[in-house]
Amino acid sequence: MPTCGSRYFAHLSPEDIVGKTDFDLFPHEEAAAFRANDLTVLKTGSASQFEEVAAHDDGLHTSVVYKFPLFDGSGNVYATGGIGADITERKRIEDTLRKSEARFRYLADYVPTIIWINDALGRCTYVNKRWTEFTGTVFEEQLGFGWLASIHPDDREAIKKLAGVAIQNRAPFQFDYRLRRHDGQYRSVIDTGSPRSGPQGNSSAISAR
């Protein structure tokens, strides 16, 4: 029951691959991982999706591979088929973004300024350590609710409208309002920030006080 793995080489022809097993084409560790995925499909008789890593001529490549069973006339599984898509560049970008996000969070937590990020609907997606110290609320309490809940009730509606206009126009903003401290008292703050666009073009507001 031979298989042909999930890596393709420009210098290999079909004749170089057909009839070979993964162990004929790949280093043992890679071949064992590919074969384990094949066996999962063979044993379950159902299709599955895997993320497979292989060493190409230009370095490691990651692929999303959809593997499925092939049945004979009697309904028995006799082989596996597969369709793969190279996602190496996507993984590289994701890794870069994760590292960038980690650096941002580290820096944001050690500045003496309150920093928060809301999505286009005003829902909180990030608060820094200084926010927690000032308001007494942690990120999990703010997640999805936005910063409006900590603003003085008399200021909320006006600030909500101003923030909406700033996001819509994608323009830097500066507001002043009263923000509730951890002791329940309100302090006046100056809020400056700028909208930013997400992967789908949606805007969010990042702000520092």
- Determine the pLDDT at residue 6: 40
The CATH number given to whatever domain includes residue 192 is 3.30.450.20
- Determine the pLDDT at residue 99: 87
- Determine the pLDDT at residue 69: 93
Is residue 63 situated within a structural domain? yes
Dihedral pair phi/psi, residue 69, rounded to 5°: -80, 150
Q: Are residues 23 and 69 in the same domain?
A: yes
Is residue 47 situated within a structural domain? yes
Q: Are residues 22 and 55 in the same domain?
A: yes
pTM greater than the 0.75 cutoff: no
Q: Are residues 125 and 156 in the same domain?
A: yes
- Determine the pLDDT at residue 186: 92
Q: Are residues 131 and 195 in the same domain?
A: yes
pLDDT mean for each 10 residues of the chain (209 residues): 44 78 88 93 92 84 92 90 89 85 84 79 79 81 71 89 80 86 89 70 57
Is residue 200 situated within a structural domain? yes
CB atoms within 10 A of CB 67: 23
What domain range is 71 assigned to? 14-86
- Determine the pLDDT at residue 206: 61
